[in-house]
Structure 1
Amino acid sequence: MAVPSAAVERQVALSSAIAAAATRSEVLTAMEDAAEAFGFAHVTLMAKPGDDDEYMSRLIIQTTLPEDFVRQFDRNRFLVACPVMPTLFDTMLPQAWTLGGLERDGIVPAPITRLMRRFSLFTTVVMPLHSFDGARFLLRFDGKRPSLRQSEINEFAVISLHAFEVFDRIRRTEEIAIPRPLSMRELEVVRWTAQGKTSVEIGRILSLSDHTINAHLTNAIKKLDCVNRTQLVAKAIRLGLIP
């Protein structure tokens, strides 16, 4: 069956952008464009959860998911409660589902589907990815669009594999600059953020204003060259700055 010209044009445009990427952030920017091209609102690249992992935020390398969604997901320990996550790496093929299908089949606990519905995560497609050095990752698109056709899932797989090949090559060869150290107070705030606490809650714990907490987080985000709190926590953990 011939591939529609629109899909071919999309593949060519996205593949060109991915091939031109020179940094990991540029690859991820290209994947944000890919998500939009497929009608999705969000893209996430995350590491495979280990047996002891309880927080999605600690696994995320990059995401455009709302911070409040990730915070509430972790606060309720949904990573452990979700029966779908452990099965995603049982295959090397992409998988897709709709929120309505999950609710109809009762596969996922209702509190998780309610949270997804609140943030309009009605359709999801994921691709398990395997690095040359044995590390395993997951790329996923989420948003509010109709269920994917098989041709779209196939196209997503091709784009994902290409993007990850470029990303992983850069990841393994790129010299990572040593970040400026965080102050003791900044580390303390980041630790509490990793536990799912809000700025207001951290302020109460440390007897500081939420404005001061936000200032510490902003400084930490700049020092570690991150774009948001989710990425800050993930990077601080990878660098061993917080447990």
Structure 2
Amino acid sequence: MDVWKDTQLRKLSCEKDLQRAYRLALDFFNFQGFEYCAFVAHSTLPDQPASKINLNNYPYGWERLYERNGYASTDPIIAHCNQSSVPVLWSEQVFSEAPQLWRELNRQGLKHGWTQAVHDEYGAHYSLFSLARTHCRIDADEHYGNLGYAIFASQRLHALAGKKLSGAMAPPQVCHLSPREIEVLRWSAEGKTASEVGRILCLSERTVNFHVCSCMRKLNVTNKISAVAKAAHIHMI
């Protein structure tokens, strides 16, 4: 059986297609005793439309029920995973402030499970990987026994999803700011007014404002604050 697991993990590590990789992960964890496997990836790039990938074999109708009742806003698992990559086991205590959601999970047969997050190093996207089943509580030994496999699978799916999400977005435009424009934005980031920047750089206030407008146009933003924020985000200042 260990040979089979090793073979499946090798296949997963080499798979380039996200859908097929998810099926490999699902088959692997079905064998490990989990009925359900879910993977959700979200893009988090600024100035880009929200994008999401959702792969799961949850009971029919669960996603619609979840969205219709707005459970995402009160889901403690999402709240935890937004801030941490530490796995979290589902329990009544964890869902103490969302009892209706906990009851629905139990009713749907999603009572025993855990979720872990993968956060992209560059903040481009993050994902959630969940395993669940109808019966049998997940004890510490089983959790830690499967944790390494789950981390490996979640990171592989996360990497493939990142490529897909990036490909679905418009290709980023290369932005070139002149050395003077970068200087103006750097001093603006320090909270200096156009007049103050002008005195520091020996420029007229009108020239400073001209450079700010040029930066706004090149960075595709509508005000100076957004220009400073975007330039900082793409490491230009």
Fold-level similarity (TM above 0.5): yes
Q: For the Cα contact (< 8 Å) 1:84–1:108, is it kept in 2?
A: no
2:88 alignment partner in structure 1? 95
Number of matched pairs: 161
Higher relative contact order structure (alpha carbons within 8 Å, sequence separation ≥ 6): 1
Q: Cα–Cα, structure 1 residues 69 and 168, in superposed 2: closer, same or farther, change >3 Å?
A: closer
Where structure 2 has 5 or more consecutive residues not aligned to the other structure, the ranges are 45-50, 170-237
Distance 1:79 1:170 in 2: 24
Distance in structure 2 (CA, Å) of the matches to 1:106 and 1:61: 22
Q: CA deviation at 1:24?
A: 0.9
Report which stretch shifted further, 169-178 or 39-48: 169-178
> Which string of whole-angstrom CA distances, capped at 9 and with x for unpartnered residues, describes residues 42-90 of structure 1?
111113698xxxxxxx855211113411111111111112234201343
Mapping for residues 86-235 of structure 1, pairs under 5 Å: 86-97=79-90, 101-102=91-92, 107-134=96-123, 135-173=125-163
Equivalent residues of 1:14, 1:159 under 8 A apart: no
The residue matched to 2:130 in structure 1 has which SS?
Answer: strand
**Which piece of structure 1 moves more, 15-24 or 135-144?**
15-24
* Mapped pair 1:31 → 2:21: no
Counterpart CA distance in 1 for 2:153 and 2:103 is 32
- C-alpha distance 78-173 of structure 1, shift in aligned 2 (>3 A): closer
Q: Distance in 2 between matches of 1:92 and 1:168?
A: 13
Checking the alignment, whether the CA contact within 8 Å between 1:44 and 1:60 is kept in structure 2 is no
Paired residues of 1:94 and 1:125 also in contact (CA < 8 A)? yes
* Residue 80 of structure 1 pairs with residue 73 of structure 2: yes
Cα deviation, 1:213-232, whole Å, max 9, x if unaligned, reads xxxxxxxxxxxxxxxxxxxx
Check the 8 A contact 1:45/1:138 in 2, yes or no.
Answer: yes
Q: Specify the code of the residue in structure 1 equivalent to 2:29.
A: A
- Unmatched 5+ residue regions in structure 1? 1-5, 51-57, 179-243
Letter in 2 for 1:124: G
CA distance in 1, matches of 2:14, 2:128: 22
Residue deviations 1:79-125 (CA, integer Å, cap 9, x gap): 1122342013433222212xxx40x6761433212211221111011
Question: What are the Cα deviations for residues 155-202 of structure 1, in whole angstroms up to 9, with x where unaligned?
Answer: 433223322443344345569589xxxxxxxxxxxxxxxxxxxxxxxx
Higher Rg: 2
Distance (whole Å) between structure 2 residues aligned to residue 138 and residue 61 of structure 1: 10
Instruction: Look up the match of 1:236.
Output: none
Scaled by the length of structure 1, the TM-score of the pair is 0.55
Q: TM-score, normalised by structure 2?
A: 0.56
CA distance in structure 2 between the aligned counterparts of 1:79 and 1:149, rounded to whole angstroms: 26
Q: Which amino acid aligns with 1:36?
A: N
Query: In the aligned structure 2, how far is the partner of 1:106 from the partner of 1:131?
Result: 26
The separation in 2 between residues aligned to 1:22 and 1:47, in whole angstroms, is: 16
Q: Deviation per CA, 1:6-26: give whole Å up to 9, x if none.
A: 6x5564244123124231111
CA contact (8 A) 1:10 1:37 kept: no
Q: Distance in 2 between matches of 1:59 and 1:22?
A: 19
Name the residue aligned to 1:18: 12
Equivalent-residue separation in structure 2 for 1:73 and 1:167 (angstroms)? 23
RMSD: 3.1
